[in-house]
Structure 1
Amino acid sequence: MRLTARIIAVVAAICGIASIATACGNDVATEPSKDSDPVVVEINFSGDSVDPHGSQIDVPVGHRVELDVTADAAGEIHVHSDPEQSAAYGVGTTRISLGAFEIPGQYEVESHTLGKTIVTLEVK
């Protein structure tokens, strides 16, 4: 009888651990869909200034980023990502799609024309 009680206790413990592991598995957050609303960053160039300038923007992992650029002169934006991205913008309003950021980290968005950091994308 003692051996049977031990076996029942071990089986009960294993089943309890299995049910706890299964329950914990249900609490895992799912990754955002690439179809989720993008994070939109509005950027305004006027003369030698840019707004925002040096701001940090939070981006959930897996979300797309789009830049709405309004400028009084043409220029280029560079993103320190992997792979690195560059995009030209013209006078007026230009929408630049950077795609989805899958890897957590900080990604600087710069104006090569002005030599300034516009924003840092904080992907987490």
Structure 2
Amino acid sequence: MRLTARFIAVVAAICGIASVASACGNDVATEPSKKSDPVVVEINFSGSSVDPRGDKVDVPVGHGVELDVTADAAGEVHVHSDPEQSAAYGVGTTRISLGTFDVPGQYEVESHSLGKTIVTLEVQ
């Protein structure tokens, strides 16, 4: 019986089942699979609406964040980080790298033109 349990644990670790089972689901961001992978947040602008709207995204300390922005008009996102960041996006899909977040805290990503918080990055 012990050998069977060890075998299952090894197979689960190899297949990544253990990490999938313990990860919290997140509809707007992909969990990084290793330390060097960034958290990717998908953002969609359509007219005067944006999706997601105020969702929280978990970011492990030391990971980068990238925004995949799809938009029907050009615009800009603003990140309340230290230092604060602004990044422009164009029509279509734009990948925006926000860099690495090394300090735990909450960082809002906003659209000032729409007056909306898109996501809050929860770095922990």
1:55-70 to structure 2, matched below 5 A, reads 55-70=55-70
Partner of 1:10: none
Partner of 1:101: 101
- The answer as to 2:52 corresponding to 1:52 is yes
Q: Is the 8 A contact 1:45 1:71 kept in 2?
A: yes
Q: Is the 8 A contact 1:53 1:119 kept in 2?
A: yes
Partner of 2:78: 78
* CA distance in 2: counterparts of 1:70 and 1:56, whole angstroms: 19
Shift of residue 56 of structure 1?
0.1
* CA distance in 1: counterparts of 2:60 and 2:95, whole angstroms: 20
Please state whether the residue corresponding to 1:53 is helix, strand or coil: coil
* CA distance in 1: counterparts of 2:113 and 2:97, whole angstroms: 19
What is the root-mean-square deviation in Å for CA atoms of aligned residues?
A: 1.2
Pair member with larger Rg: 1
1:1-124 to structure 2, matched below 5 A, reads 36-124=36-124
Report the identity percentage. 86
Give the TM-score taking structure 1 as reference length. 0.71
* Structure 2: 5+ residue stretches without partners: 1-34
Q: Which consecutive segments of 4 or more residues in structure 1 shift more than 6 A?
A: none
Q: Is the 8 A contact 1:75 1:112 kept in 2?
A: no
Looking at secondary structure, tell me which structure has more helix per residue.
1
* CA distance in 2: counterparts of 1:97 and 1:113, whole angstroms: 20
Shift of residue 112 of structure 1?
1.6
- CA displacement, residues 31-86 of structure 1 (integer Å, 9 cap, x when unaligned): xxxx6110000000001100000000000000000000000001100000000000
* CA distance in 2: counterparts of 1:81 and 1:66, whole angstroms: 14
* Structure 1: 5+ residue stretches without partners: 1-34
Give the TM-score taking structure 2 as reference length. 0.71
